[in-house]
A and B are shown apart, each in its own frame.
Chain A
């Protein structure tokens, strides 16, 4: 049944163009604009050795897409609540967590699709994935897990507020969190307080784990930090979702 709900979630996204745009179009445009406009950033002292700024930003585009996907999952869940579709699911003999799990399953599928999309774009524009096919598969897995984690935060917000406009209102926050991480520039090149914030921002570790297989050899330490970052976000999201769902059922 989680598969059926996940399938609905994916179909819903592709049938509602305004949900596709944040997943693919915005991150692709930002990738194109930033890599073209600030391509010489790689020449700055302290910038890690990298094939191109485009290669450096590829991970940022993927995580940006996963972040927006999480927000879109929250919006879609809130729309379900607003139109009463969630009541239909709550009145069915399925575990309550399946309502959130189904939505997140769809978000994970979309996350893996966007990872593939950006890998293809990268290859088309001459990026060499240093870690090869295994690295590409690892990137897809990490982006998928990231989408799940961010989706759980979106779901928590949707279940707590029941309002699509409130969830949508947090969209700019995704940009802020992203810019206060190492997504677009290495931590050493950030100025204070962004530098310190980026150090404690789990997104930095997630982006770095996704980026490493593209630009250099991935170390176990980077992978572990990335997975820890995802786990931290997911734990917060799932816990808050569970509480919000319980409250929604209790309060009505």
Chain B
């Protein structure tokens, strides 16, 4: 018998009172043990979809099953099976980290001693043991996200929902969250995450669903999605001389494409593996190269291909940095 998918969504819709269709008919299936990234700009319908899948919002159309349970008719069973870390870490600033995670354990029906044991283990896992007795209001953004993540794990959920888990975090904190997500997935937890960062989806996800205006416009592995919109390209700038000889050498490695600013561009199917042979061939032909760059299609290219628009923040692929974030000292604690 085939394994039950962790998430099954069929024509899921959500309309709001002003007739805005925030989610216009989403279909997707996430296998158990997978990391699935929902990639899209602000307002695309990512959070609304997550809120429906986590039973926080009732769909106005379609069906969704999470961990084998219907999100409308078996909402309580869904809530027992999932962990949720929402977009803005919903933490009470007046509680301490330890109090918050123990409360979460109680809400999930754990015995007091078991709740305490798991809380301590999870606080240690996310590097917050030393800060556990401090009020959450004194935590940095990264610490809050890690606490939020830990509290979502206290009942060892089958499926973990992370809504924009690294938005607004500095690169170090972001990397720390990514490492934890990968570790959790290695331990068998299915992860459904939403993000507006290309790099996050690319680095973490087994499969990516690109959502725009409430509809999934593309879905697949990051590699397959990128392959759909083009092959990797080598872009060369000659140090000196006419390009004729160089073109003659390059034609053996791939089809020539139009280039800007005096660049010679060829399509290389094998990607990075083509670099060494090209360099050797150019060297043997006595051609001096000023620069050589491998340019691969990005998920933004996929987004542009499917929607005609760039994804917000695609230029840097990641969130803004927060210099001076006291988080850094806690990362050392974590280490």
Residues of B within 8 A of A89 (CB): 107
Contact at B94–A11, with CB atoms within 8 Å?
yes
Contact code string B22-64 (vs A, CB < 8 Å = 1, else 0): 0000000000000000000000000010010011111000000
Tell me which of B74-82, B266-274, B287-295 binds A.
B74-82
16 contacts between A and B (CB under 8 A): A1-B106, A8-B103, A83-B88, A83-B90, A83-B92, A83-B93, A84-B86, A87-B90, A90-B55, A91-B54, A91-B84, A93-B108, A93-B109, A250-B58, A252-B16, A252-B51
Contact code string B104-138 (vs A, CB < 8 Å = 1, else 0): 10111100000000000000000000000001000
Please report the C-alpha to C-alpha distance between residue A97 and residue B302 in the assembled complex, in whole angstroms.
45
Contacting A8 at CB < 8 Å: which of B14, B57, B92?
A: B92
Measured CB to CB, the nearest residue on chain A to B77 is A93
Q: In the assembled complex, how far is the CB of residue B227 from the closest CB belonging to chain A, in whole angstroms?
A: 37
Provide the main secondary structure of the chain A interface.
helix
The answer, yes or no, to whether A251 is at the interface (CB within 8 Å) is yes
Residues of B within 8 A of A88 (CB): 84, 86, 90, 104, 151
The answer, yes or no, to whether B91 is at the interface (CB within 8 Å) is yes
Contact at A15–B84, with CB atoms within 8 Å?
no
Contact at A92–B90, with CB atoms within 8 Å?
no
Contact at B56–A92, with CB atoms within 8 Å?
no
The answer, yes or no, to whether A40 is at the interface (CB within 8 Å) is no
Contact at A85–B80, with CB atoms within 8 Å?
no
A91-B54, A91-B84, A250-B58 in contact; A8/B79 too (CB < 8 A)? no
Contact at B58–A249, with CB atoms within 8 Å?
yes
The answer, yes or no, to whether B17 is at the interface (CB within 8 Å) is yes
Please report which residues of chain B, range 1-20, place their CB below 8 angstroms from some CB of chain A when the two chains form the complex: 14, 16-17
Please report the C-alpha to C-alpha distance between residue A1 and residue B14 in the assembled complex, in whole angstroms.
32
The answer, yes or no, to whether A94 is at the interface (CB within 8 Å) is yes
Measured CB to CB, the nearest residue on chain A to B88 is A84
The answer, yes or no, to whether A217 is at the interface (CB within 8 Å) is no
Interface residues of A (CB under 8 A from B): 1, 4-5, 8, 11-12, 15-16, 80, 83-85, 87-94, 249-252
Measured CB to CB, the nearest residue on chain A to B87 is A84
Please report the C-alpha to C-alpha distance between residue A80 and residue B90 in the assembled complex, in whole angstroms.
9
Please report the C-alpha to C-alpha distance between residue A8 and residue B107 in the assembled complex, in whole angstroms.
12
Residues of A within 8 A of B48 (CB): 252
Contact at B90–A252, with CB atoms within 8 Å?
no
Q: In the assembled complex, how far is the CB of residue B75 from the closest CB belonging to chain A, in whole angstroms?
A: 9
Residues of A within 8 A of B17 (CB): 251
Please report the C-alpha to C-alpha distance between residue A88 and residue B155 in the assembled complex, in whole angstroms.
14
Please report the C-alpha to C-alpha distance between residue A80 and residue B92 in the assembled complex, in whole angstroms.
8
Contact at B107–A1, with CB atoms within 8 Å?
yes
The answer, yes or no, to whether B95 is at the interface (CB within 8 Å) is yes
Contact at A91–B103, with CB atoms within 8 Å?
no
Q: In the assembled complex, how far is the CB of residue A12 from the closest CB belonging to chain B, in whole angstroms?
A: 5
Q: In the assembled complex, how far is the CB of residue B45 from the closest CB belonging to chain A, in whole angstroms?
A: 13
Contacting B95 at CB < 8 Å: which of A1, A8, A92, A94?
A: A8
